[in-house]
Structure 1
Amino acid sequence: MITESNFEQSESSSKMAMMAETTETRVIMTEISEDNDNSAAETMLARKHLAQKHHYPSDKAHGADIPQSCIESQTTSLAVEAAVSIVINGIHYAVLMASPYQLEYLAVGFLFSEGLIQHSHELLDWEVTHLTDIASYQKFAQSLNDGDLEFASIEQRLEQFQDYDIYIVELVLNQRCHQRIQAQKRQLAGRTGCGMCGITGLTQALPDLSHYSQANIHGSKATVPSLEYLLVLRQQVDATQHTHQLTGAVHAAATIYNQQLYLFEDVGRHNALDKLIGWQLRQKVEVDCVLMTSRLSIELVQKSIRGRIPWLVGMSAPTSTAVRVAQRYGLGLAGFLRDNRVTYYTGI
Structure 2
Amino acid sequence: MITEHTRVLVNTLPQTDTSSDSVSYTTSCNMIDKPQSPVLTDTLLPSSVTPLARPHLAQKYYYLLDNYEDKQFNQPYVESKPVSLAVEAAVAIVINGIHYAVLMASPSQLEYLAIGFLFSEGLIEHSHELLDWEVTHLTDIASFQSFTPASTDDSLLFESLSEHLLDYDTYVVELVLNQRCHQRIQAQRRQLAGRTGCGMCGITGLNQALPDLNLYSQKMVDTQSAKPSLDYLLNIRTQINTTQHTHQLTGAVHAAATMQAEKLYLFEDVGRHNALDKLIGWQLRHKRKVECVVMTSRLSIELVQKSIRIRLPWLVGMSAPTSTAVRVAQRYGLGLAGFLRDDRVTYYSGI
Report which stretch shifted further, 247-256 or 154-163: 154-163
Q: Is residue 17 of structure 2 the alignment partner of residue 32 of structure 1?
A: no
Alpha-carbon deviation of 1:197? 1.1
Query: 1:329 aligns to what?
Result: 332
Alpha-carbon deviation of 1:75? 0.2
Contact 2:41 2:266 in 1 (8 A): no
Q: Is residue 181 of structure 2 the alignment partner of residue 170 of structure 1?
A: no
Alignment partners' CA distance in 2, 1:135 and 1:184: 32
Query: 1:338 aligns to what?
Result: 341
**For residues 245-278 of structure 1, what are the alpha-carbon distances to aligned partners after superposition, in whole Å with 9 as ceiling and x for unaligned?**
0000000000011322110000000010011001
RMSD: 2.5
Q: Is residue 256 of structure 2 the alignment partner of residue 253 of structure 1?
A: yes
Query: 2:23 aligns to what?
Result: none
Q: Output aligned runs, 1:128-277, within 5 Å.
A: 128-141=135-148, 146-148=150-152, 156-215=160-219, 218=221, 223-277=226-280
The one-letter code of the counterpart of 1:80 is V
Alignment partners' CA distance in 2, 1:97 and 1:27: 23
**For residues 57-97 of structure 1, what are the alpha-carbon distances to aligned partners after superposition, in whole Å with 9 as ceiling and x for unaligned?**
23425977444201111000000001100000000001000
Higher relative contact order (CA 8 A, sep 6+): 1
Alpha-carbon deviation of 1:199? 1.0
Give me the TM-score of the superposition, normalised by structure 1.
0.84
The one-letter code of the counterpart of 1:166 is T
Query: 1:50 aligns to what?
Result: 57
Alignment partners' CA distance in 2, 1:64 and 1:119: 61
Tell me the secondary structure at the aligned position of residue 103 of structure 2: strand
Alignment partners' CA distance in 2, 1:42 and 1:176: 36
**For residues 135-174 of structure 1, what are the alpha-carbon distances to aligned partners after superposition, in whole Å with 9 as ceiling and x for unaligned?**
3223333xxx542499876554430202111100000000
Unaligned runs of at least 5 residues, structure 2: 1-36
**For residues 183-239 of structure 1, what are the alpha-carbon distances to aligned partners after superposition, in whole Å with 9 as ceiling and x for unaligned?**
2223330100111111111111111111111245x5775611000000000000010
Tell me the secondary structure at the aligned position of residue 215 of structure 2: helix
Contact 2:104 2:194 in 1 (8 A): yes
Q: Is residue 320 of structure 2 the alignment partner of residue 317 of structure 1?
A: yes
Tell me the secondary structure at the aligned position of residue 234 of structure 2: helix
Contact 2:41 2:267 in 1 (8 A): no
Alignment partners' CA distance in 2, 1:298 and 1:31: 28
Contact 2:123 2:181 in 1 (8 A): yes
Contact 1:134 1:154 in 2 (8 A): no
Q: Output aligned runs, 1:46-125, within 5 Å.
A: 46-60=53-67, 65-125=72-132
Report which stretch shifted further, 176-185 or 321-330: 176-185
Alignment partners' CA distance in 2, 1:222 and 1:120: 30
Alpha-carbon deviation of 1:339? 3.1
Q: Is residue 287 of structure 2 the alignment partner of residue 280 of structure 1?
A: no
The one-letter code of the counterpart of 1:89 is N
Alignment partners' CA distance in 2, 1:72 and 1:42: 30
Query: 2:9 aligns to what?
Result: none
Q: 2:302 aligns with which of 299, 302, 306?
A: 299
The one-letter code of the counterpart of 1:54 is Y
Instruction: Indicate how the Cα distance of structure 1 residues 65 and 151 shifts in structure 2: closer, same or farther if over 3 A, else same.
Output: closer
Instruction: Indicate how the Cα distance of structure 1 residues 247 and 41 shifts in structure 2: closer, same or farther if over 3 A, else same.
Output: farther
Instruction: Indicate how the Cα distance of structure 1 residues 237 and 63 shifts in structure 2: closer, same or farther if over 3 A, else same.
Output: closer
Contact 1:244 1:250 in 2 (8 A): yes
Query: 2:14 aligns to what?
Result: none
Residues paired across the two proteins, number: 315
Alignment partners' CA distance in 2, 1:231 and 1:211: 32
The one-letter code of the counterpart of 1:79 is A
Alignment partners' CA distance in 1, 2:188 and 2:55: 38
Tell me the secondary structure at the aligned position of residue 337 of structure 1: coil
Instruction: Indicate how the Cα distance of structure 1 residues 64 and 277 shifts in structure 2: closer, same or farther if over 3 A, else same.
Output: closer
Query: 1:14 aligns to what?
Result: none
Tell me the secondary structure at the aligned position of residue 126 of structure 1: strand
Contact 2:223 2:335 in 1 (8 A): no
Give me the TM-score of the superposition, normalised by structure 2.
0.83
Alignment partners' CA distance in 1, 2:328 and 2:69: 56
Query: 1:16 aligns to what?
Result: none
